[in-house]
Amino acid sequence: MIRVSEESFDPGAELSAFEKSAQGAGAVVSFLGKVRDLADGEDVRALYLEHYPGVTERSITDIEAEARRRWTIDDALIIHRVGEMKAGEPIVMVCVASAHRRDAFEAADFLMDYLKTEAMFWKKELRDGGEAWIEPRDADYKDAARWRKDD
């Protein structure tokens, strides 16, 4: 399931519901990303994310399908917020269920690397010193490069 929404979500409730729907899986891996309260030495009040409705969801659907091709997973949940989020609020949650832990860990890691570097989101931090559009860090791109298949 993929959900891109301006609505906040309860990570505990989402994980509990996902675990119930993934009965029979031997492993459930989850990742929760939250709005940082500090960036480049400045206090961050909020994070604002823009996206292209429909296009963003389709691209995430495609990458989830790629994760299913690469690993044996029973189910996946991807929640990503857009709009304005205050420091400390959840931004993204990825859950993967599988028969075995390695597939669940790697698929969740792959999905997060994609969401961080390739998904169609534009991020702006609302800092005490003003606004700043932010891009993925070099380390994020290095992490994502692990998954590229060479010809």
The CA distance from 70 to 104, in Å, is 11
Domains of the chain by residue range = 2-144
Percentage of the chain surpassing pLDDT 90?
A: 77
Architecture per CATH, 2-144 = Alpha-Beta Complex (3.90)
pLDDT in tens, 60-117: 999 999 999 999 999 999 999 999 999 999 999 999 999 999 999 999 999 999 999 9
Which residue in the block uniquely carries the two structure tokens 């989101």? 121
From residue 148, how far is each of 35, 94, 103, 122, 142 by CA, in Å? 28, 20, 17, 23, 11
The three-class DSSP label of residue 5 is strand
Check whether 150 has a pLDDT greater than 60: no
